[in-house]
Structure 1
Amino acid sequence: MSKLAHMLGPLSIFWFVFITKFSMIQAESKAFFVFGDSLVDNGNNNYLATTARADSPPYGIDYPSHRPTGRFSNGLNIPDIISEKMGWEPTLPYLSPELRGKNLLIGANFASAGVGVLNDTGYQFRLYKLGPRRVLVTGTGPLGCVPAELAQHSRRGECAQELMKAASLFNPQLVKMLTKLNNECGKDVFIAANTNQMHMDFITNPKQFGFRTSKEACCGQGPYNGLGLCTPLSNLCSNRDEYVFWDPFHPTERANRLIVQQILEGSQKYVYPMNLRAIMAMDSRA
């Protein structure tokens, strides 16, 4: 997948890792670890010397504190919502000074805006050997349809075809690789989430999901609000729930909630070979 990875760039896949038991304690416990890029970063980059930060308004405008937290969202991101729906405590950034003591038993978020699938920016190791028993891996989304790409390449709102082709080639290979890993493990450890299809549902028919637009970002500037970063000086929509995209690259909290709904309960069209509810039910009986 190396050639495709170069085309896909930094916006790529992310992993949700579930450890269902800790050997260090007697009682059964669950821990949740997150790896990925800005789509799932919950504040790690606030501790790093980088320009890839979401630490100023209007980021976080719909977060419970109404303040920026380092999440590239108007509110909660996908790991936050998974934790909420599963009744778990939210994970902390791995760089947070609060990640100690009992907070370590909840898990941790290792995501960092700007990482990707290349060896020089991403992680490449066999997670199963490190203890996790369920690993949910998302495919890459429709990269050519984000407002940033529309602003640079689109005349009438059409998606950038080269990036769309790259995603269409990459995602099936990812599923094939995960299936091979499961065969080697002898069980369904790795679960593939088809976030490309989830996003395309919104993009193809946004009104069906209650969105006003899937092309224009809520926060930004230029064509489709797709140029530059979301800043206090950017155009800002009044109702974030009407938009698929919050800024030129990232979904709104409402779009994230619909994505999580499919991860939790979706058919094999969206989550293969089983959804997260089925995984948790199976593990509870083990």
Structure 2
Amino acid sequence: MDSGNNNFLPTSAKANYLPYGSNFAHGPTGRFTNGRTVADFIAEYLGLPYPPPYLSLHGQMSLSGINYASGSCGILPESGALLGKCKSLSEQINLFEWTIETNIEISQHLSKSIYLVAVGSNDYINNYLETKFDTSKRYHPQTFAHLLIHNLSQEFQRLYKLGGRKIVMFEIGPLGCLPSISKTHLHKGDCLEETNQIVSYFNEMLPSMLNNLTFTLPHSFFVLGRINSKVYDAVTNPTTYGLTDGKSPCCRTWENASAVCIPLTVPCINPFQHIFWDGYHLTEPFYSFLASQCLHADSLCTPLSIQQLVKM
């Protein structure tokens, strides 16, 4: 969940303008939502400041956490390339490695730190489902999922070798329910179940991969964040979560199916009743809900909640 790294990169995937950050004390920082993200809420719980984007530090260091995420990028290096230059997962871990090499004092904190990873969505949105790529013609959905899982496993093993021990990996959400995708459906706002099925191959392979890493890498804890079903349920039953709108974005987006907010437009008057902020990303209250569930319940983040993971 990018907190502003893309502000420093030549990409059109930016969120450093209003109405992004409309409900955030620091305004539009580059977060693709109206306020805080899951990472921000978890940092608050741990008594830490919001993790700053790595590229904003300019060689300085933060021992209380760093955000390496890069909006529109994914596991595969080509994902997001149509929007400009972003940092793929491999490049993000390269930056993490550089952080360690240039700041020896940070090494004593690595095994105690918690690493939040939310990646993979853009490999579908900005690659597999993107008609300007031929990826879907070259790969069956299940084969593509295998490719992503294999590459993700390799990167997690790199992270482990660099000192990471407590890794939380979130599922890919139900992409067929995103406003930027579902609005192209005959019945505007309905979920495209075919798209959700494509993503499900990846999510179904995640648990065994994470369990295998935990079993084979000593003293490691790979936790799965089961968010897909929660988001899907909220979209189809928003009132259950105290929300009124589970289909439309709170901000105005471009008519060409772009997921981002139109700059400086006025968002909806009740963002805390919406699930989606723009055509792709969630609102602060729903990020808060997911973070709370992961913090306190090992049913969403399994087999350990964040609370439990802190004590390990």
Q: TM-score, normalised by structure 1?
A: 0.77
Which consecutive residues of structure 1, in runs of 5 or more, have no partner in the other structure? 1-39
Residue 176, structure 1, aligned to residue 136, structure 2: no
> What residue is the counterpart of 1:60 in the other structure?
21
Question: SS of 1:167's equivalent?
Answer: helix
Aligned AA (1:149)? I
Aligned AA (1:272)? T
> What residue is the counterpart of 2:42 in the other structure?
82
Give the percent of matched residue pairs that are identical in Structure 1 and Structure 2.
Answer: 35
* 8 A Cα contact 2:259 2:280, kept in partner: no
> What residue is the counterpart of 1:118 in the other structure?
76
* 8 A Cα contact 1:143 1:167, kept in partner: yes
> What residue is the counterpart of 1:277 in the other structure?
307
* 8 A Cα contact 1:267 1:274, kept in partner: yes
Q: CA deviation at 1:267?
A: 3.3
Instruction: Supply the distance in 1 between the matched residues of 2:166 and 2:72 (Cα, whole angstroms).
Output: 25
Q: RMSD of the alignment, in Å?
A: 2.1
3, 8, 11: which is aligned to 1:50? 11
* 8 A Cα contact 2:20 2:32, kept in partner: yes
Q: CA deviation at 1:153?
A: 2.1
1:136-180 deviations in Å (ceiling 9; x for gaps): 011100000010011112415321122100222211201110011
Residue 219, structure 1, aligned to residue 251, structure 2: yes
Q: CA deviation at 1:266?
A: 2.0
Q: 1:190 to 1:58 in 2, by over 3 A?
A: same
Q: CA deviation at 1:228?
A: 5.1
Instruction: Supply the distance in 2 between the matched residues of 1:274 and 1:151 (Cα, whole angstroms).
Output: 36
> What residue is the counterpart of 2:120 in the other structure?
none
Instruction: Supply the distance in 1 between the matched residues of 2:13 and 2:7 (Cα, whole angstroms).
Output: 9
Aligned AA (2:181)? E
Instruction: Supply the distance in 2 between the matched residues of 1:64 and 1:236 (Cα, whole angstroms).
Output: 17
Moved more, 49-58 or 198-207: 198-207
Which consecutive segments of 4 or more residues in structure 1 shift more than 4 A? Answer: 225-228
173, 178, 184: which is aligned to 1:146? 178
> What residue is the counterpart of 1:258 in the other structure?
289
Greater helix fraction, Structure 1 or Structure 2:
2
Instruction: Supply the distance in 1 between the matched residues of 2:218 and 2:288 (Cα, whole angstroms).
Output: 32
Q: CA deviation at 1:227?
A: 4.7
Which consecutive residues of structure 2, in runs of 5 or more, have no partner in the other structure? 79-87, 91-153
106, 111, 122: which is aligned to 2:64? 106
> What residue is the counterpart of 2:98 in the other structure?
none
Greater strand fraction, Structure 1 or Structure 2:
1
* 8 A Cα contact 1:202 1:244, kept in partner: yes
Q: 1:275 to 1:145 in 2, by over 3 A?
A: same
> What residue is the counterpart of 1:238 in the other structure?
269
Instruction: Supply the distance in 1 between the matched residues of 2:186 and 2:258 (Cα, whole angstroms).
Output: 13
> What residue is the counterpart of 1:249 in the other structure?
280
* 8 A Cα contact 1:56 1:231, kept in partner: no
Question: SS of 2:216's equivalent?
Answer: helix
> What residue is the counterpart of 1:18 in the other structure?
none
Question: SS of 1:108's equivalent?
Answer: coil
Instruction: Supply the distance in 2 between the matched residues of 1:204 and 1:70 (Cα, whole angstroms).
Output: 29
* 8 A Cα contact 1:151 1:227, kept in partner: no
Q: 1:258 to 1:228 in 2, by over 3 A?
A: closer
1:73-113 deviations in Å (ceiling 9; x for gaps): 10111111110122112211110136624x2x112111001
